[in-house]
Copies of this chain bind each other. A is one copy, B any other.
Amino acid sequence: MKFGIVVNEGPYTHQASDSAYNFVKAALATGHEVSRVFFYHDGVNVGTRLSIPPQDDRQIQEQWSALAKEHELDLVICIAAAQRRGLLDRNEADRQGKDANNIAEGFRISGLGQLIEMGIQADRTITFGD
Chain A: residues with CB nearer than 8 A to chain B?
10-13, 41-42, 45, 48-54, 83-88, 93, 96, 98, 100-102
Contacts and interface: CB of A to CB of B under 8 A. Distances in A.
A86 B13 contact: no
Count this chain's copies in the assembly: 2
Nearest to A45: B85
Contact of A85 (B11, B49, B83): B11
A51 B100 CA distance: 11
A6 B108 CA distance: 33
Contacts of A49: 86, 98
A16 to B, nearest CB: 13
A98 B41 contact: no
